[in-house]
Amino acid sequence: FGMAQRDKLIAENYARIDHLTKLYNRRGFTEIVESYWQGYIRNSRDFSIILLDIDHFKQVNDRLGHAAGDLVLEQISHCINKTIRGCDIAARWGGEEFIILLPETPQELSLIQAERLRSAIADLIITYKDEFMNITSSLGVIGTNQSPKVSLSTELTLDSFINKADEAMYIAKNKGRNQICAY
């Protein structure tokens, strides 16, 4: 029984972690954040979400192959881990998208954190088979504004909050990429 239970816990953990980036996957992120979500709303706590998309990622895969794309994903996730705070929760959201929850952080401060991350990624030089890649990212940010009671309602869902960050990210892409847009 003990080994079976241990094996089950290990399997459940693997089901929540993206094997390539070692960050949470979408499922793992959603499970963890959902457990906090109602508490943030109910207790009027500040929080923000950053949604990040790697610019021109398809070109990396098309030009250099999927191994180069995998290297970029690994390097970006490492950069995210080095840049975020210990209390932040980061995940590979899908493909070349990443998501970060910043607890106890109003939008104003999350924009500073997003710029720190955008800049760190832009400063990366990734080498693959004698090719140097400069990677940029577009980020969408949404957060409370130090008055969650005014800006949030209990009807607001985690999904709708993430969708707003997604909208902001696409505006950043449409404005020329390698930038941040707040919802």
165 Cβ partners below 8 Å, 6+ apart?
49, 50, 51, 99, 140, 141, 142, 183
Q: Which of these, 63, 80, 70, lies nearest to 131 by C-alpha position?
A: 63
Closest by CA to 77, choosing from 131, 12, 29, is 29
> Measuring CA to CA, which residue among 84, 80, 86 is closest to residue 22?
80
What are the structure tokens assigned to 177, written together? 């990429």
DSSP H helices, 1-157, are: 2-16, 26-42, 57-64, 66-83, 107-123, 148-151
Three-state DSSP state, 31: helix
Candidate list 34, 96, 97, 115, residue with the active-site label:
96
Q: Is 96 a catalytic residue?
A: yes
Structure tokens given for 6 = 């241990």
Catalytically annotated residues: 96
